[in-house]
Amino acid sequence: RHGWCGTCFGTGEIIESFTEEQTGEEEVWLDTQESDEEPAPEPICCPVCAGQRLNPTALAVRLEKRSIADFTALSVVDAEREVEKLRFGKKEEAIARDLLPELKSRLRFLGKVGLGYLSLNRAAPTLSGGEAQRIRLASQLGSNLQGVCYILDEPTIGLHARDNALLIATLRDLQQQGNTVIVVEHDDATMAEADHLIDVGPGAGSRGGEIVAQGTLSQLKKNKASLTGRFLARPLRHPLPDLRNQTQRADFAAETLRIEGATLHNLRSLSVDIPLRRLVAVSGVSGSGKSSLIRGVLLDNLRAALRAGTLRRKLPALTGCSAMEGWQSIDRLLQVDQTPIGKTPRSCPASYVGIFDIIRKLFADTVDARLRGYGPGRFSFNVAGGRCETCAGNGMRRIEMSFLPDVRVDCEECHGWRFNEDTLAVRYKDRHIGQVLAMSVDEAVEFFAPVPLVHHPLQLLQEVGLGYLTLGQQSPTLSGGEAQRIKLVTELAKAKPSVQLRRNTKQHALYILDEPTVGLHMADVEKLLRVLHRLVDAGNSVIVIEHNLDVIAEADWVIDMGPEGGKEGGNVVAQEVPEKIAKAKKSHTGKFLAGVLGMQASGSAADV
């Protein structure tokens, strides 16, 4: 509070309902509205500090005639150039001696991983996923330490193939400085650069936990026991056979959604046509404007238009673009992202997918349950009556340890089953409710084979590579990729029965996915592609913001943004089928896509 602007409390913007007490507590006030809630009003620049966030006293302090706001308004590249120019007297030199090398190394690292265009004062919520990931890396890796063991968990998340190469080169530099670099990764380019590979498996969940293979890249490729090795030796060949149902898609008339004059963030008054009832991939380097176009312009405006139609209101004014046409055939809009499917241990895949209610009814219909007068609510661990009251249905108890982290242990009363003895006495096919929730999806598919309403969603979970999850697994333990695939399955389970109906109607659903391949092995990417095409075969539109080249290669249409990030981006570089994108000279995506498709990058696509 000593330095911030007293009007905006250091945010640079006038934000509704934001108070002095909330400064620094972003999770309290950041926009987290659901699809059916009114969107938050656009913040406006603070009129007192003109967006500089500081009060006049703080801005009065100068370094080489610049205030701190002037300096942080510079881009990474410009800031690095200005720092190199700094010259100090003897007294100032002693103060700056240890600071300048740290500042230079961090700015240099940001430039190395392709973030030279970012201004230092850029607001964190406006960063793309790839930009945020690389900034976090810079905070850890930007120093010139030696003898350090760096452990990175999927550092390539959100990075374009070109930026990947920059990151890999940086990691190699770290190793050559005398450090050890351990990377948990699915990216094949990172694996190809590694000196030593350790493949864990053979499956996931309870079927994993073993070292399947280890050695060099060539050794792994020759190891028949390694699924990773097999995919590295024989990558997916595109186009994958039998992926699309061309006959079924031919039943749907060609439709196009058009956006004109998009100007949100770095978008440069661009106009773009998006084919509907197709799988459309939106590609481009990090910060090129993909999320601004699809989430900021398309999603927000379409959500507002559909809400107005539902409430029989007048269509609201468009934000971020001058016109949007051809959207009227869309009656449902679903954003499938990687936010958790539940924030408490009481949420689980069975409840989210919608089969837990049916399972509880099956137990309530048993002879034992009817004799005891038990209804479906008896078999819920969320309400009193059937659950274990010692652990309140959590199955575990938290024990506070002095000077040590809290420890979680199985409840001594229910032994982790979450229900009391009377409830566990009721059996369905010789299993009590606790044992059913402890089943893996693979096991449950066979167990519930005679129950279509349960069997079908379970089969879909199996098909997207989630057969290892247990039905009652606590949602906070799921990764972002797992949560996103569970959301997809939930929607797919709803979509399948309506295929015949939607074939004879103009209305359909639009699915928007933001990097659904995060955390996925190459084998799981293939399974995901089949699920996405199944949604399209059912007559729906699917738009995927993606860097994964296998997904881009299998799209029906690609919109490539760029050519660079930030101020150098915001244009449509090319929009065509993958084979023509691979020939676009101006497209960074095309250069890498050509290799995946087994082509030479030459010629030109529909360059803009």
- pLDDT tens digit string along 243-256? 887 777 777 767 99
pLDDT at 495: 62
User: 363: pLDDT confidence band, cut at 50, 70 and 90?
Assistant: very high
Q: Measure the CA–CA gap between 79 and 73, rounded to whole angstroms.
A: 9
Inter-CA distances, 468 with 127, 223, 464, 477, Å? 34, 24, 11, 13
Structural contact between residues 291 and 522, judged by C-beta atoms closer than 8 angstroms: no
What's this model's pTM, rounded to 2 decimal places?
0.83
- pLDDT tens digit string along 218-274? 999 999 999 999 999 999 888 888 888 777 777 776 799 999 999 998 899 999 999
Q: Measure the CA–CA gap between 378 and 376, rounded to whole angstroms.
A: 5
Asked if the model's pLDDT at residue 336 lies above 90, the reply is: no
Residue type, 560: D
pLDDT at 172: 92
What is the average per-residue pLDDT within 575-597?
93
Q: Measure the CA–CA gap between 127 and 265, rounded to whole angstroms.
A: 11
Q: Measure the CA–CA gap between 175 and 220, rounded to whole angstroms.
A: 22
What 3-state class would DSSP assign to 233? helix
Over the chain, what is the mean pLDDT? 87
Q: Measure the CA–CA gap between 398 and 408, rounded to whole angstroms.
A: 5
pLDDT at 256: 95
User: 608: pLDDT confidence band, cut at 50, 70 and 90?
Assistant: very low
What is the average per-residue pLDDT within 34-47?
65
316 vs 125, which has greater pLDDT? Answer: 316
What is the average per-residue pLDDT within 472-499?
78
Tokens of 313: 């209101």
Asked if the model's pLDDT at residue 512 lies above 80, the reply is: yes
Asked if the model's pLDDT at residue 575 lies above 60, the reply is: yes
pLDDT at 135: 85
Asked if the model's pLDDT at residue 604 lies above 70, the reply is: no
Q: Measure the CA–CA gap between 310 and 327, rounded to whole angstroms.
A: 15
Q: What is the CA 591 to chain-centroid distance, rounded?
A: 24
Tokens of 216: 């060099």
Structural contact between residues 350 and 437, judged by C-beta atoms closer than 8 angstroms: yes
Q: Measure the CA–CA gap between 148 and 179, rounded to whole angstroms.
A: 5
pLDDT at 40: 54
- pLDDT tens digit string along 408-419? 899 999 999 999
- Phi–psi pair at 542, nearest 5 degrees: -130, 120
Tokens of 5: 């602007």
Residue with tokens 């030459």: 602
pLDDT at 139: 77
Helices H, strands E: what count in the chain? 27, 17
User: 24: pLDDT confidence band, cut at 50, 70 and 90?
Assistant: low
What is the average per-residue pLDDT within 415-440?
95
Report which secondary-structure segment, H or E, holds 323: strand 323-325
Q: Measure the CA–CA gap between 293 and 315, rounded to whole angstroms.
A: 20
- pLDDT tens digit string along 149-197? 999 888 888 888 988 888 898 889 889 989 999 999 999 999 999 999 9
Asked if the model's pLDDT at residue 34 lies above 50, the reply is: no
Asked if the model's pLDDT at residue 297 lies above 60, the reply is: yes
Q: Measure the CA–CA gap between 563 and 608, rounded to whole angstroms.
A: 10
pLDDT at 183: 94
Structural contact between residues 465 and 524, judged by C-beta atoms closer than 8 angstroms: yes
Going by their DSSP bridges, the two strands 255-262 and 210-215 should be labelled as: unpaired
Q: Measure the CA–CA gap between 321 and 476, rounded to whole angstroms.
A: 37
